[in-house]
Amino acid sequence: MSLSALLRQDPPKLLVAVAMRKETECLLPYAEHYTRLCSEPFPYYRCTVAGQNIAIAECGIGKSNAAAAVAYCLALAPEVQAVLNVGVSGGLAPQARVGDLLLGERYLYHDVWCGTGNAPGQVQGLPPFFPADERLMQAVFGAEPTPLNAPSPTATHTPPEEGQIRSGSKKHLVRIKSSLDPDQKNISSAPNLSPSADLLPAEETGLCLPPVCGDFCTGDRFIPDPSALKRLLEQYPRCISVDMESAAMAQICFRLGVPFLSVRVVSDTPLSAHNHTLQYQNFWLHRPDRAFAFFPALVSHLYSTLSV
């Protein structure tokens, strides 16, 4: 049976897009059950998470892979009502720590320049950045859920001011609090948390911190040099995450009118770590799936915005 035919059987409302196999392997443990429907042109899974039917697409690294995979999935499954990008990234926010949760409010390119008349990062003919969907943001911050096909409510999530980096609500988004050595070179064991744990206030669980909100900057270039990252921050002062996929996914969703949101876990802190390459490698050695313990609750809250 073709992938198109399979997608027509109980089609998912939420598409979760990841870049790497490692990220897929961090999310699948939180599924009640899952089925791998295909391997080509990219791995595609049908999952039940928090009692909800979702799809996980493993796009591959880079802007072209990300855009192609999301566009392909949306063309085959027009019933999808929202796209969620989940993964890891380098953290550029002040005092960023491995395991911190980052929430993208705007998505832009750090390696695009279309000449005079365009802002840095702007694809000519498109906005200088692609905003996160307001209703999905409201779901994350715990506002009363509003279906995506309903009239736009009064926003409870205030758009950021230029240069502003913020922490989100303390009441939402469970995450495992990693214990780091002083140089942040190694991640020690973190307490176990049931995949079915709901979103709980930090003061009740001790395992929850507010997400840091800001811009996600995307490019097809790995940037290991701290001086280059500092120059990037001078140009994009609200940047808290540097990755290779989110803005490309956001651009496709913008063009197709599909709500989009990206959530990233900090895997390394290149502006502060003594050896952030080793830091990144160690992230994957110490049960990284526990850093994604927020995933079931996030799916549940986002599903509250999707129409029946």
- Beta bridge partners, 264, equal 87, 102
Q: In the prediction, which pLDDT does 287 show? A: 79
CA distance 208 to 187: 17
Domain assignment of residue 36, yes or no: yes
Domain assignment of residue 17, yes or no: yes
Say if CB 112 and CB 127 are below 8 A apart.
Answer: no
Say if CB 259 and CB 133 are below 8 A apart.
Answer: yes
> Which residues constitute the domain of residue 26?
3-303
Q: In the prediction, which pLDDT does 2 show? A: 67
Q: In the prediction, which pLDDT does 259 show? A: 96
Domain assignment of residue 250, yes or no: yes
Q: In the prediction, which pLDDT does 220 show? A: 85
Say if CB 242 and CB 110 are below 8 A apart.
Answer: yes
Distance in Å from the first CA to the final CA of the chain: 27
Please count the structural domains in the chain. Answer: 1
The CATH number of the domain holding residue 122 is 3.40.50.1580
Q: What's the average pLDDT block by block, 10 residues per block, for the chain (308 residues)?
A: 66 93 96 91 92 94 96 90 96 87 94 87 89 90 49 43 49 35 31 30 38 91 83 91 95 96 93 85 88 92 81
Identify the CA nearest to 51 among candidates 300, 302, 306, 240.
300
Domain assignment of residue 211, yes or no: yes
Which residues contact residue 271 at a Cβ distance below 8 angstroms, ignoring those fewer than 6 apart?
92, 96, 226, 229, 230
Domain assignment of residue 308, yes or no: no
Half-sphere exposure of 286 (CA within 13 A, CB side): 22
Expressed in percent and rounded to 5, the helix, strand and coil fractions of the chain are: 25, 25, 50
Q: In the prediction, which pLDDT does 1 show? A: 63
